[in-house]
Amino acid sequence: MPARQIVFVPDPILRKKAQTVTKFDNDLQVLIDDMVETMREAPGVGLAAPQVGIPFRVAVIEYPENDEDEEAEPRLFTLINPEITRKSTEMVSGPEGCLSMPGYNGEVERHEVVTVKALNRRGQPVTYKAKGWLARIFQHEIDHLNGVLYTDRATKVWKLEPADEQEDSKANAA
């Protein structure tokens, strides 16, 4: 399965609210597999379907559930029709980047903890409670599905130096 082409700003698909997924067919399974491969090749830690030109509410994330454990293995999350159902009042600011906007980072304030309800790739309901960087990534990806870019929320945006781009995979949420 070939990796898909990533769409870059200012492509209008990145600004549209994605459509709800209603069919869990083979085409959806191929899309998910292609998105995982594309995310890994980029490399990134998350990718939303609009970023590969598909206007559906699908996102993939690969990041450890507990980022405080430096040896924790990344976990692959597939989110279909996700929604944030709870948010902490505590906010944290941190750097973010985006595969659709390479070469830039921004300082973005996000909820420290979120609860996300979604469907998995088989259409079964799942709920995740995420904190720290994983919560940031979930929020970033769900923003993509709503036509929102991290730069819309950033207090500051800067261009990365070439040396910084090599070390920036943690901030490259999507």
Tell me, what's the pLDDT at 2?
A: 57
Q: The domain 12-166 belongs to what CATH superfamily?
A: Peptide deformylase (3.90.45.10)
Is 141 known to be catalytic? Answer: yes
Q: Are 35 and 1 in contact (CB under 8 A)?
A: no
Residue spans per domain, the chain = 12-166
Of the residues 83, 112, 141, 161, only one is catalytic, namely: 141
Q: Token pair for residue 32?
A: 């998910």
Q: Nearest CA to 96 among 135, 57, 124, 68?
A: 135
Q: Which pTM value belongs to this model?
A: 0.92
3-state secondary structure 11-77: CHHHHCCCECCCCCCHHHHHHHHHHHHHHHHCCCCEEEHHHHCCCECEEEEEECCCCCCCCCCCEEE
Tell me, what's the pLDDT at 172?
A: 55
Tell me, what's the pLDDT at 169?
A: 47
Q: How many other C-beta atoms lie within 10 A of the C-beta of residue 162? A: 7
Tell me, what's the pLDDT at 67?
A: 72
Report the alpha-carbon angle 116-62-28, nearest 5.
75
> What is the C-alpha to C-alpha distance for residues 60 and 79, in angstroms, rounded to an integer?
6
Tell me, what's the pLDDT at 106?
A: 98
pLDDT in tens, the chain (174 residues): 458 999 999 999 999 999 999 999 999 999 999 999 999 999 999 999 999 999 999 999 999 887 777 788 999 999 999 999 999 999 999 999 999 999 999 999 999 999 999 999 999 999 999 999 999 999 999 999 999 999 999 999 999 987 665 555 445 556
Residue 19 to residues 9, 30, 54, 144, Cα–Cα distance (Å): 20, 18, 9, 12
List CB contacts of 114: < 8 A, sequence separation 6 or more: 84, 86, 87, 88, 129, 130, 131, 135, 138, 139
**For the stretch 19-40, what's the b/e string if a residue is b when 16 or more beta carbons lie within 10 angstroms of its beta carbon?**
eebeeeeeebeebbebbbbbbb
